[in-house]
């Protein structure tokens, strides 16, 4: 007869007995090795002992003393291993850990609810679902999601409903935020400034003086506002920013004059 599944070796130094115990129990069921056809547990005991590593087998033999490990009934053998590997549970300590739990940054609401449920394993609550709901809400990261749950009717709110509401608020906020970012972006604005025969693009975000051409002050604050242009003889700007095209005055001088003025 072929066996279902693979039964691995149990080494207490690298594995947890509680997990292995659950797996070997299911392996026995899958292969129809149960109490009705293995009344004294001799077959199950033989399989379990053969699955132990050398170190774990020696430990089990020591725990069984003064009895011979090969003569200890299966149920008694499992009990010996339980008492050795499974720590004694303190109810108040387990409840303290439960009530002290808080949602961690980056932890989703479904993950938070699942972690809380795991913490109730040995708390022995008379109403597990109510305790889970309360701690789920009170231990949440402060925000719109928790405010939404605080506004709910406590008699009608279940843990499942609380998780659903929190996730819906989170999704709505995330969607609104992404929409705001997309629609809130503005493309750079440019203006055209004609100087001579060429058009120069100047960023509208920068201040550029129309009197002297510098971009570290406004035109109204320019100290050259009373100067006369050497190109068009008009008062109020210097030659370098003059937009008069092909205009030559009788007293036209070299453009180097502006450099001398700005240097002062």
The 10s digit of each residue's pLDDT in 126-136 is: 999 999 999 99
Residue 183 has a pLDDT of 53
> Rounded CA gap, 62 and 72, in Å?
12
- Please give the structure tokens belonging to residue 33: 């090795």
* Three-state secondary structure of the chain: CCCCCCCCCECCCCCCHHHHHHHHHHHHHHCCCCCCCCCCCHHHHHHHHHCECHHHHHHHHHHHCCCCHHHCCHHHHHHHHHHHHCCCCCHHHHHHHHHHCCCCCCCCHHHHHHHHHHHCCCCCCCCHHHHHHHHHHHCCCCCHHHHHHHCCCCCCCCHHHHHHHHHHHHHHHHHHHHHHHHHHCCCCCEEEEEECCEEEEEECCCCCCCCCCCCCCCHHHCCCCCCECCCCCCECCCHHHCCCCCCCCCCCCCCHHHHHHHHC
Residue 197 has a pLDDT of 45
pLDDT tens-digit readout, 50-67: 999 999 999 999 999 999
pLDDT tens-digit readout, 177-222: 777 655 555 555 555 555 444 444 444 445 678 888 888 888 888 8
- Please give the structure tokens belonging to residue 64: 């069984």
Contacts of 38 (CB under 8 A, 6+ apart): 44, 74
Q: What is the mean pLDDT of the chain?
A: 83
Query: What is the average per-residue pLDDT within 144-163?
Result: 94
Q: What number of CA atoms fall less than 13 Å from residue 193's CA on the CB side?
A: 15
Residue 22 has a pLDDT of 94
Query: Is the pLDDT assigned to residue 82 strictly greater than 70?
Result: yes
pLDDT tens-digit readout, 29-51: 999 988 888 888 899 999 999 99
> Rounded CA gap, 170 and 144, in Å?
8
pTM of the model: 0.47
pLDDT tens-digit readout, 158-169: 999 999 999 999
Query: Is the pLDDT assigned to residue 255 strictly greater than 90?
Result: no
User: Do 140 and 103 touch, CB atoms closer than 8 A?
Assistant: yes
The more confidently predicted of residues 80 and 203 is: 80
> Rounded CA gap, 261 and 126, in Å?
91
Phi then psi for residue 10, to 5 deg, are -105, 120
Phi then psi for residue 110, to 5 deg, are -70, -40
- Domains of the chain, residue spans: 17-85, 92-173, 190-263
Query: What is the average per-residue pLDDT within 254-261?
Result: 53
The CATH class for the domain spanning 92-173 reads mainly alpha
Among candidate residues 52, 57, 65, 58, the one with its CA nearest the CA of residue 10: 52
Residue 211 has a pLDDT of 82
């Amino acid at each position: 007869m072929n066996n279902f599944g693979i039964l691995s070796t149990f080494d207490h130094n690298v594995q947890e007995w509680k997990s292995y115990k659950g797996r070997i129990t299911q392996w026995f069921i899958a292969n129809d090795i149960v109490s009705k056809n293995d009344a004294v547990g001799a077959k199950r005991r033989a399989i379990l002992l053969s699955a132990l590593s050398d170190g774990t087998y020696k430990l089990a033999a020591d725990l069984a003393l003064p009895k011979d490990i090969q003569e200890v009934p299966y149920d008694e053998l499992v009990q010996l291993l339980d008492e050795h590997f499974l720590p004694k549970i303190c109810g108040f300590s387990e409840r303290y850990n439960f009530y002290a739990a808080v949602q961690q940054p980056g932890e989703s609401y479904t993950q938070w609810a699942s972690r809380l449920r795991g913490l109730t394993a040995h708390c022995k609550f008379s109403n597990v679902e109510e305790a889970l709901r309360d701690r789920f809400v009170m231990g949440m990261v402060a925000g719109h999601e928790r405010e939404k749950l605080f506004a709910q009717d406590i008699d009608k709110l279940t843990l499942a409903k609380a998780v659903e509401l929190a996730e819906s608020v989170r999704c709505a906020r995330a969607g609104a935020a992404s929409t705001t970012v997309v629609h809130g972006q503005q493309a750079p604005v440019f203006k055209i400034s004609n100087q001579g025969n060429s058009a120069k693009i100047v960023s509208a975000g920068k201040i550029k003086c129309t009197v002297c051409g510098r971009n570290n002050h406004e035109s109204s604050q320019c100290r050259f506002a009373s100067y006369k242009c050497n190109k068009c003889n008009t008062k109020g700007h210097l030659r370098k920013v003059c937009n008069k095209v092909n205009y030559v005055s009788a007293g036209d001088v070299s453009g180097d004059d502006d450099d001398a003025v700005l240097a002062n």
